[in-house]
Structure 1
Amino acid sequence: MSTRTALVTGASSGIGEATARKLHALGFTVYGAARRTGRLQDLARDGVRPLAMDVTDDASMLSGIGEIMAATGRIDVLVNNAGYGSYGALEDVDIDEGRRQFEVNVFGAIRLAQLALPQMRAQGSGTVVNITSMGGKIYTPLGGWYHGTKFALEALSDCLRLEVKPFGIDVVVIEPGGIETEWGAIAADFVEETSGRGPYAAQASAVARTLRSGSNPKRNSPPTVIADAVGKAVTARNPKTRYVAGFGARPLIAARRLLTDRLFDTLISRAVGLPRA
C-alpha cells in the first residue's frame, strides 16, 4: 500500500502544527494547510508539505484536495483543526461575525469532509478527525458563537460517523481542554473589542483575563497532548469516537454532565471570575 496521506488544516501554529509533526513522525505524507504558507516554512523544512488553503473559500478547498490527489492519489486522514474563537456578548457581536464563526469552524470542516469522502469510500478506508473542544460540551459567558460552532460540530460528527461507517471510514472527535496556544490571546482581543465597553464591560474584562491565562504553561497543556490523541486515533484499529485531552477538560465535562444547569452556571461564573450581581 502507498504511504498514507493526511491533511491537517490550521497547521501554521499550535495544535495544527503539532499534529502535522506527529503524523509525519508516524510515517504519513502530511499536507499542512493554512491561509498563509509563509508560516508553514518550519514545517516544510521538516518534511511536511505546505498547502495554501482558506476554509471559507470553496475554490481554495477544491484546489487543495485536487493538489493532494494529483500528487498522492489518496487521502487517508483529514484533520479539521482550523478555527478561532469569536468572543463577545451575543447582544454585541455583529451577526455577520457570527456567520463567519460558523463558516470557519463548522462549514469549512464539513465541506472538506465532503470533498475527501469520495476518495475515502473508493479506498474503503479513512479517518475524519474533527477538533472540537470541551467547549462543545460546556458553555461560558460571552462565548456563545464559539460554543455554538463546537456544539454543532459535535452533532454533525456523530451523524457523519453513522453515515460513513458502512464504507470503512471512521469519524473521531477530539475535545481539547486548556491548551497553550495563540488561541486564547486572540479570543481575548475579540471579547475586549466587542464588549469591552458598555453593559458587558465587567464580564468582558473577566473573560479576557481567563482567556489570556492560556499563555501560562503551568495552567494549560502543550499542543502535543492533542497531537498525541490524534496520533492514537488514526493508528488504532478501532478508534474511540471521542478523545478528551488537555487541562481541565475531563473534570469540566464531567461536571456539566452531573450538575444541574444552575449549579453549573455558578461553577463557571466563579471560575471565570464574573462580578456578582
Structure 2
Amino acid sequence: MKVALVTGASSGIGESTAVELQKAGYTVYAAARRVRRMEGLAARGIRTLLMDVTDDESMAGGVGKIIAETGRIDLLVNNAGYGSYGAVEDVPLDEARYQFEVNVFGLARLIQLVAPHMRAAGSGRIVNISSIGGRIYEPLGAWYHSTKFAVEGLSDSVRLELKPFGIDVVVVQPGGIKTEWGGIAVGNLEKTSGGGAYEGQVRQLAGFHAQMGRASEPKVIADVVVKAARARRPRTRYAAGFGAKPMLFARGVLPDRAFDAMFLGLMRRFG
C-alpha cells in the first residue's frame, strides 16, 4: 500500500485531500499544527501528525516517524500555506519573511527530507499546491503572489532534478476555493492597509474576493491531487476551481497592460 504525507491537513484542501487519498487506497499521514482539528480524520483511520512547516525539527521528526512506521513515502502533498495581503509599503518585512517561510521554505524543506527516500525506492511523486496566483497578480497581494511565483519556479527546477530518479513533481493551481484562506487574506488586508492611502483599493479588492461565495468546494482540488497521484504520466500542472482556467487563459493571451486593465476593471465592478 502506498504512503502519502499531506501537509496543512487540518481544514480545506488538505483535509479533503487526505480523505480522498485514503479512499483511493493510500495510507495517509495528515500533518498540521492544529492536531485537534484533525480528530475527524483520525476517526476515519487517517494517521495524524503534529507538524509546523516553519520548524525544522517538527518536519524532520514527522518524516522520520513515517519512515520508521512504514519504511516509505510514495507521495508528498505540499499543501500548507496562507495568504497575507496588504500594500508592499504597509506590510512589515517580518510578516513577508514569515509568509515565505510557510509557503516556500517549508515546502522546499519537506522535499529535501522525502527525496532521499523516494530516490532510494526509484519512484515517488511530489504534488505542490500552488495557486493561479503563481501565474497572475493583483494589487495588495505582492508578497503572497511572490511566494506562489517562487513555488512555480522551484517546482519546475526540482522536476528536472528528480526526473532521472523516477520522481515526478506536479503543480496544482487552485482558483477560488471555499476555505479559510479568503477570510484570512481579506482580514489581513483590511488590518494592514484598510485605513491609509490604499483604502480605496482595499475596498475594491475585498469586494472582488467576496465573490468567493461562488467558489468551488475543496474536493475539486482533492480530486485533482488524486488524479495527479495515480496518473501513469502526470501533467506538470493542473488548474481547477472557480475561475482558474479563464484567468490563466486571459493571462496567457493578454499583454501585461491589457491584463492590468481587465483586473482593475473587475475590482471596480465588485468594489
Give the TM-score taking structure 2 as reference length.
Answer: 0.98
Whole-angstrom distance in 1 between the partners of 2:247 and 2:209:
16
Give the aligned partner of residue 99 of structure 2. Answer: 101
1:183 aligns with 2:181: yes
When the two chains are superposed, the root-mean-square deviation of aligned CA atoms in Å is 1.2
1:221 aligns with 2:201: no
Give the aligned partner of residue 256 of structure 1. Answer: 251
The one of 38, 50, 53 aligned to 1:52: 50
Q: Deviations over 1:78-134 (max 9, x none)?
A: 000000001000110001100001000000001000000000001100000000000
CA-CA distance at 1:165 after TM superposition: 0.4
Give the aligned partner of residue 25 of structure 2. Answer: 27
Q: Secondary structure at the match of 1:273?
A: helix
Q: Secondary structure at the match of 1:165?
A: helix
Whether the 8 Å CA contact 1:173–1:241 is kept in 2: the answer is yes
Q: After the TM superposition, list the runs of 4 or more consecutive aligned residues in structure 1 that deviate by more than 6 angstroms.
A: none
Whole-angstrom distance in 2 between the partners of 1:166 and 1:35:
34
Equivalent pairs, count = 271
Whole-angstrom distance in 1 between the partners of 2:269 and 2:199:
11
Whether the 8 Å CA contact 1:202–1:275 is kept in 2: the answer is no
Q: Deviations over 1:133-159 (max 9, x none)?
A: 000000011000000000000000000
Whether the 8 Å CA contact 2:6–2:30 is kept in 1: the answer is yes
1:233 aligns with 2:228: yes
1:266 aligns with 2:261: yes
Identity of aligned residues (%): 61
Whole-angstrom distance in 1 between the partners of 2:105 and 2:269:
32
Give the TM-score taking structure 1 as reference length.
Answer: 0.96
Whole-angstrom distance in 1 between the partners of 2:204 and 2:253:
26
Q: CA 1:262–1:39 in structure 2 vs 1: closer, same or farther (change >3 Å)?
A: same
Whether the 8 Å CA contact 2:38–2:48 is kept in 1: the answer is yes
Whole-angstrom distance in 1 between the partners of 2:54 and 2:211:
29
Whole-angstrom distance in 2 between the partners of 1:178 and 1:242:
17
Whole-angstrom distance in 2 between the partners of 1:175 and 1:132:
5
CA-CA distance at 1:208 after TM superposition: 2.0
Output the amino acid matched with 2:240.
Answer: A
Output the amino acid matched with 1:74.
Answer: R
